[in-house]
Every structure is written in C-alpha cells, then in structure tokens.
Structure 1
Amino acid sequence: MEQKNFFFSIIMAIYNVEEFLDEAITSIIDQALDFEHHIQLILVNDGSVDASGEICLKYKEAYPENIVFIDKENGGASSARNEGLKYAKGKYINFLDPDDTLSPSTLLKVYDFFEKNYSKVDVVSIPMMMFGKTSGPHLLNYKFDKTRLVHILKEHTGIQLSAPSSFVKKEAVKNHFFNEDMAYAEDSEWLTKIIMKRQVYGIVSEGQYNYRRREDASSATQTGKNDKKWYVDYLKNFSRELINHSITTLGYVPRYIQYMIAYDLQWRINIEDRTDVLTDKEVEEFFDLLERILAFIDDDIIFEQKSLN
C-alpha cells in the first residue's frame, strides 16, 4: 500500500446533518490540491440519529485510504473534534463544519502560504462568506485586504474567532484540546490561545470558507440566545478565561484580546427580553460578571466596535 503524504487532515464533527453532508465532503474531495495523495478526511459521527452515519460510510468505502470514519456516542462538537485529533496525520489541521464548504482552491493556496511562512506562523485563516438564510461577507472579513501576516499586538482589530475557517500546524496542536465543558465559543478560545503563543498568524485572501446560515435557524449561533449557557457560562469560559490567560502569559490584557471580547459581547448584552431564559438572579449575575470583565477593556476599544449599538 502506498504511503500517503497528507498535507491536511480535515476533521468534521458530524451531528444530524444528512441534508448538507454530501456537499461538505464533496468540497474537500474536489479540491485543486490532489485529494487522494494529500488530504486526510476524518469523519466523526457524534451520535447522529439521521442518515449521517450511512453517508460517511459511503465515502469511507469509496476512499478507504484517505477517509477515517469514527462512530461515537453524542458528546458535543468539542468531544468529536478531540476524538478526531487522535487520528490526524496531516501536517496541517482544519475543522470544517459539516454544513459548510471550502472553495476549490483553498487548500492549495493555504498550503503554499504555510510552506513559505512555516517558521513564522502556526495558524492561517481565510475569509468567510455566508450563504443560505443570509448571504454576504462575514463582519470580520475587513482584515482580508491581501494575503499577509497579522501581528496581533500591532493590529488589535485583526481578530480571528473561527477555528473552522482557520488551519493550524499539527505540531502546534499537541496536547491542546478543545474544552468539552464549553457550549459556545470553544473553538475561539482554543484558537486564540494558539495564536497568542506566536502573536502572529497568516491570512490568505484568495481562500474562501462558505458558512451556511440555516433556513430553520438551527445552528448553535442561531439558537444560542435561548440557552442559559449563552450568557453567564460564556462570560466565565470565554471572556474571563482569555483575560486570565493573558495576564498569566503576558502580564496584561493586550488590546487584541480586549477587542475580541468587546466584539463578541454584542451578541449577549441585549438580554432584556430573555426573561423566559434567565431568572432575575441569573440576570444580576450576568451583569455583575460583565462589569468586572469590562474593567479590563479600554473605553476606546468599546467605541471602536463597528456593530455595537
């Protein structure tokens, strides 16, 4: 059997996505970079009760040397991604969501950038374009003006929150797993800690991550506002955790982290109409924690927010 030289391991955490899964998998098989020689696809079926498992098996049978199929009990996206990491053999790793796709030239462009800048970066990110219920560029696409390096201590607005639209060196991921106790922003927390080690990451403006906004509004980011964990747990596990991590590793909270926290708070602070989700005591706890977090964010960082009312 020919020894594969995998440039990429694409890990997909799969849960009840039979409607979209073929499209996601096909976008990897049809890459300009030779799939059969250079791409490993790791399909982790996280306890799906629809036909997702059968779809995975169909592709596993078609490409037995490239595709790893893992069937496990439901444990959440972080659990599935952590399981997939155990099987990754590629030089670079990505976590494509199973209802999204990559543009055909993405892996080739990202590979070329990584090879030219291998000693400088552990992470390379690409623009996100939304499709489905809403379409158009993601709010944070402004930084993708050209293919380049982003030095986070010099360019504090160049925040990168999405792990699925990023590619990470396998050697940078060693012993760095997703927090399985987090229901939201677990990929952002994971990615940010990796980026902070070098304080620089790469962006490839020619790549494209196609991010599906589901018509039934069933994705985690679309349903989160109706979940208690979207509020206090999020502030503890993401905002406060990144503040604590910054102080521990750098001795202060850099403006890049401040900007990231301020940007992401906008989806949670309008909770006057969340009385059906939070008790009065939980609302009080939320605002108390929010006040303590805001103490670490400069006023001008808050005023810089482009999408904050």
Structure 2
Amino acid sequence: MKFAIIMPFYNAEKRLALSIDSIIKQSYSFLKHVEVLLINDGSTDGSGAIANRYATKYPNNIRVLTVPNGGPAKARNIGIHNVREDTDFVGFLDADDIMSENTLASIVAFLNESNVSMLVPAFYYLDDFGSKQKISPHKLNYRFANGNRVADIEKEPEAIHFYIGGTFLRYDCLKEFTFDESLYFAEDQLLITQFLLKNRSYGLIADAGYYYYRDLKQKGSLVSSSWKKPERYTPFLQKVYQTYLTDSKEIFGKVIPYVKYLIAYHAKLFFYKENTYFREVLSESEQAIFVQELQRFCRKSELVRLWIRHTSRSKEMMCSICK
C-alpha cells in the first residue's frame, strides 16, 4: 500500500526534523511505501534547509516544494496536486507534531478488515511547559474506547471528527475535494466534514497515536491573536456552518444529527471566556449581526446545550446569545 504524507511548514525549524523522523521511523517500511511532500510555505528561518537535507538524503521518498506564503489551505492543495497517481492514501502531518511508529502498520491492518476512505488515530496533546512535557488525551478520544472500529456518522452522530492532523484519506476520494483557500482557520474542518458527509463512515485506529505539540509558553498570545480577526466571526459562520447545513440537506434531505453535534461542539468555542474579544474586534453593528447569526445556528443545532460544559460565565454568555 502506498502512502503520501503532506506536511506544510512555515518557520518550523524547532521541531521539523522530529516530525519528519516520526515518518521515517514507521514500522511499515518508509523506503518502500511512503512519499513525503514537504511544502515550504515561504519560511524565512532555517526550516527550508532542514527539509532540503532530508530530500537529499531520501531522494526517492521526500520532495520539497517551495512556494510563496499563502496559508495552510493553499499549501495542502499544492501537496495534493503533486501526489503520485499510484498513491492509495494521503495523510497530513503538521510540522511540529509526530505520529507513533506503528501508525501506518495499524492503518494497513485495519484496511485488511474494513473498507473505509478515512482513518484517524487516537489524538493526544503534547504540552511543552519548558522544563517538562505532558501528554494528555483529546476530549474526542472517547471515540476510541472500544478499540479499532468503524464509526458510521448516521448511526453515531456524536463521533464527530474535524481536524486534519493525523487524518488519512483515500486518494481517489480526496481528488474530489480541495481546501478552501479563502479560510485561514477551520479549512481542514470544512473539508473533512464535506468528505464525511459524502463517505459516511471512517476508521478509528485506537492502537496508534497522533501527538499534537503545544508550546504553552506561546499559547496565550496565539489564542488571543486568532480571535482578534474579524473574519473569525460572522464570515466564518456564514461560510463554514452554512456549508454544513446546505451539504447535509443536499445529501440526506435534512440536517442530520451528526452536523448538529459538530456545530454544537465547535460553537462552544465562542463561549469561552477569552471570546469577549469579539466586542473589541467588531463594531456595534457587526456585533449585532454576529450575535444574530450565532443565534440562528444555535437554534438549528438544538443539541448545543448538551455540549456546553464550562464555567458559569460561559453558560451565561451562551444563554444570553442563544436565547
């Protein structure tokens, strides 16, 4: 089985080698079965040189594509367009994350028993506190409690999936989709949801792991800046959430519970205490439009109250907006 792994990177010299090494060290032969596409998204640090050294060492397995900075969606699309035609599955790895050594072997074993077009390993946070690191499971890891299995989104609407890191997609199916380059966040969530609505099930690989690196020394500033962009609010709702509703109605004739769960799970981010930022970022008229749109999507996703499990302040914000 042939794998292509796409890794966009931008100024990632700190951990890029670790990420690439986690692919090379796979127990399923890297030299025989794996191609890595490193997309240099306009880096200005030493990460380009690191990538080039790996490509020189493994010329049959690693390619570096250098492009002007255009964001993760464009970089991933470039990677997809350059995948070899004999590829079976395309995986995505962020430039500071790592995969467990058995990831590809576990996927191959799973596919010998089940015919699915998307596979996902268990997801863990690798938190860097400077002097030590801590590994903790993602909140959605409840999906893996029963081991390796197939999740059917029509029968199991709470088995939501929306992140691209560690996700593997059948290449013949992926060709029908592209990452929306107008989005600088949630572009992966949009593609994965569209993919799942069409393909309807995916494989859960409980015995493999994807480790998402978080530098907690920088986390606060990164989170703050991401919520200080006006396009994170009304344009996001209208672009992403509305696409979920429209696609679900076109495919199933209705908004299926899976889509409601997904919107509800993601919408709770707007109720975190940090997200009073929208009052700073948006004018009063823009705030009114945003709240109106959020109310509309909360009503359409009536399961939202099942997912809000935060502080009383968050609950108060949720109730005031979704009333």
Into which bin does the TM-score normalised by the smaller protein fall? over 0.9
Counterpart of 2:318 in structure 1 is none
User: Are residues 1:19 and 2:14 paired?
Assistant: yes
Aligned 8 A contact 1:18 1:51 in 2: yes
Secondary structure (helix, strand or coil) at the match of 1:68 reads strand
Aligned 8 A contact 2:35 2:62 in 1: yes
1:70-113 deviations in whole A, cap 9, x for unaligned?
00001100000000011212210111010100011111101221
Aligned 8 A contact 1:183 1:229 in 2: no
Aligned pairs for 1:213-228 within 5 A: 213-215=214-216, 216-217=218-219, 223-228=225-230
Task: Tell me how far apart the structure 1 counterparts of residues 72 and 81 of structure 2 sit (CA, whole Å).
Answer: 15
Counterpart of 2:320 in structure 1 is none
Counterpart of 2:251 in structure 1 is 249
CA 1:245–1:79 in 2, change beyond 3 Å: closer, same or farther? same
1:219-275 deviations in whole A, cap 9, x for unaligned?
966742222222222212211111111112221111011000000011123533433
Q: How many Å apart are 1:206 and its aligned residue?
A: 0.5
CA 1:222–1:117 in 2, change beyond 3 Å: closer, same or farther? farther
Task: Tell me how far apart the structure 1 counterparts of residues 253 and 24 of structure 2 sit (CA, whole Å).
Answer: 45
Code of the residue aligned with 2:236 in structure 1: it is Y
Which of 28, 46, 50 is the aligned partner of 2:45?
50
User: Are residues 1:277 and 2:281 paired?
Assistant: yes
Secondary structure (helix, strand or coil) at the match of 1:23 reads helix
Task: Calculate the TM-score normalised by the size of structure 2.
Answer: 0.88
User: Are residues 1:191 and 2:192 paired?
Assistant: yes
Gaps of 5+ in 2: 129-133, 316-323
Q: How many Å apart are 1:153 and its aligned residue?
A: 1.0
Task: Tell me how far apart the structure 1 counterparts of residues 235 and 43 of structure 2 sit (CA, whole Å).
Answer: 26
User: Are residues 1:237 and 2:239 paired?
Assistant: yes
Aligned 8 A contact 1:182 1:237 in 2: no
Code of the residue aligned with 1:16 in structure 2: it is N
Counterpart of 1:137 in structure 2 is 137
Code of the residue aligned with 2:2 in structure 1: it is F
CA 1:32–1:223 in 2, change beyond 3 Å: closer, same or farther? farther
Code of the residue aligned with 2:213 in structure 1: it is R
> Which structure is higher in helix share?
2
User: Are residues 1:174 and 2:201 paired?
Assistant: no
Secondary structure (helix, strand or coil) at the match of 2:286 reads helix
Task: Tell me how far apart the structure 1 counterparts of residues 139 and 263 of structure 2 sit (CA, whole Å).
Answer: 15
Aligned 8 A contact 1:230 1:268 in 2: no
Task: Tell me how far apart the structure 2 counterparts of residues 30 and 263 of structure 1 sit (CA, whole Å).
Answer: 35
User: Are residues 1:296 and 2:293 paired?
Assistant: no
Moved more, 43-52 or 239-248: 239-248
User: Are residues 1:122 and 2:124 paired?
Assistant: no
Counterpart of 1:113 in structure 2 is 110
Aligned 8 A contact 1:42 1:69 in 2: yes
CA 1:187–1:220 in 2, change beyond 3 Å: closer, same or farther? farther
Q: How many Å apart are 1:192 and its aligned residue?
A: 1.2
Counterpart of 2:164 in structure 1 is 163
Task: Calculate the TM-score normalised by the size of structure 1.
Answer: 0.92
Secondary structure (helix, strand or coil) at the match of 2:112 reads helix
Aligned pairs for 1:66-81 within 5 A: 66-81=61-76
Secondary structure (helix, strand or coil) at the match of 1:217 reads helix
Q: How many Å apart are 1:286 and its aligned residue?
A: 0.9
CA 1:17–1:222 in 2, change beyond 3 Å: closer, same or farther? farther
Counterpart of 1:3 in structure 2 is none
Aligned length: 300
Which of 51, 60, 81 is the aligned partner of 2:55?
60
CA 1:303–1:275 in 2, change beyond 3 Å: closer, same or farther? closer
Q: Please report the RMSD computed on the Cα atoms of aligned residues, expressed in angstroms.
A: 1.8
Using the aligned pairs only, state the percent identity: 29
CA 1:171–1:124 in 2, change beyond 3 Å: closer, same or farther? same
Moved more, 248-257 or 264-273: 264-273
Gaps of 5+ in 1: 1-5
Task: Tell me how far apart the structure 2 counterparts of residues 214 and 202 of structure 1 sit (CA, whole Å).
Answer: 29
Code of the residue aligned with 1:64 in structure 2: it is P
Aligned 8 A contact 1:184 1:234 in 2: no
